[in-house]
Amino acid sequence: MQTYRLGISDIDTSRIGYGCMNIWGSWDDTSLNDDDRARALKSLQVAQDRGINFFDHADIYCQGKSEEVFAELWKRSPNLRARIFIQTKCGIRFAPPLHRFDFSFDHIITSVEQSLQRLRSDYIDVLLLLRPDPLVDPEEVARAFDTLHNAGKVRWFGVSNHTAAQMEFLQKCLDQPIVVNQVEFNLIHTHILDEGILFNQDNPRLTRNEAVIEYCRLHNITLQAWAPLATGRLSGKPHNNDDIHIKKTAELVAQMAVEKGVQPEAILIAWSSRHPANIQPLPGTTKAERIHAACEAEHINLTREEWYGLSLAGRSEALP
């Protein structure tokens, strides 16, 4: 698989990463068992076999069990850790006592220490702050980042779901560069594109123009796409309440897949990858056939007309 540099880091990541949110499969309190371990490790092995070397986690995924089961890889291949890159995230706290966001020094440090224990690793390659915290103190975040970086526990830092202004606000206090912003992006969730297209238009879909894509390109921050497969809604797993335009978009994706001799997942990944911002898709499917299908995207080069055709279908409205 093709690789490229992650932001201004020294990480040469696979063009497609792998989202590990659901590799454990359950968000309840059940304990790890052999069957679940085997299923998770099979998905991870398929991803590696396809050339994926970048794996995305968060401390909350399956209540930490996704990180825990991921560490089973070291039993199979003790030398693997040096050949792959691990990204994890912190900042969301669930009950008790209540669901909230937390970018405090203590929570960032504690979260990383716990992730390192679950992952059975001495370091994390990239740490992201997950969801903006309205009570963020950038000086406190900077102190946490300095502590982790100086201790060799985190190599690089980034954010998730942050606006351009929020990134700039944090960066003013950080000694480390923000190298990643991970956002939801797929054919039916195109908000980061729409804010540029709909600027200065009378359109209720636009609340403000943040220019996230442009900011990231100007500052060499890699955009990552979570849910690039739209949770399967465009590739065989429709929701009962999907609008007609989503169904028609799925039909167009299926038609294009047949024409190009690939599966629909490849078309969806190729669409997000076609953008010149070099957006890194992070498909999180645990189905081996869907992992293979997504990776076929690197052999597809969509024309401008094909990209816009898919975009217009997903938008469900004409361009200005």
Tokens 């690939």 locate to 262
Please give the Cα distance from 202 to 278 (Å, whole number).
30
Is residue 224 helix, strand or coil? strand
Count of Cβ atoms closer than 10 Å to residue 29 Cβ:
7
Which residues are CB-neighbours of 68 under 8 A, at least 6 positions away?
Answer: 24, 32, 118, 119
Count of Cβ atoms closer than 10 Å to residue 4 Cβ:
12
Please give the Cα distance from 233 to 265 (Å, whole number).
10
Tokens representing 114 are 């716990």
- Selecting among 18, 61, 215, 308, the annotated active-site residue is 61
Please give the Cα distance from 308 to 320 (Å, whole number).
14
Contact 237, 277 (CB under 8 A): no
H helices present in the chain, as ranges: 34-49, 65-70, 73-76, 105-119, 138-150, 164-171, 191-197, 212-218, 244-260, 264-273, 288-295, 304-315
C-alpha neighbours within 13 Å on the C-beta side of residue 291: 22
Provide the CA 129 distance to its chain's centre, in angstroms. 12
Is residue 46 helix, strand or coil? helix
Please give the Cα distance from 290 to 63 (Å, whole number).
25
Could you confirm whether 61 is annotated as catalytic? Answer: yes
Tokens representing 88 are 């994890």
Looking at the chain, the number of H-run helices and the number of E-run strands are 12, 12
Give the active site residues: 61
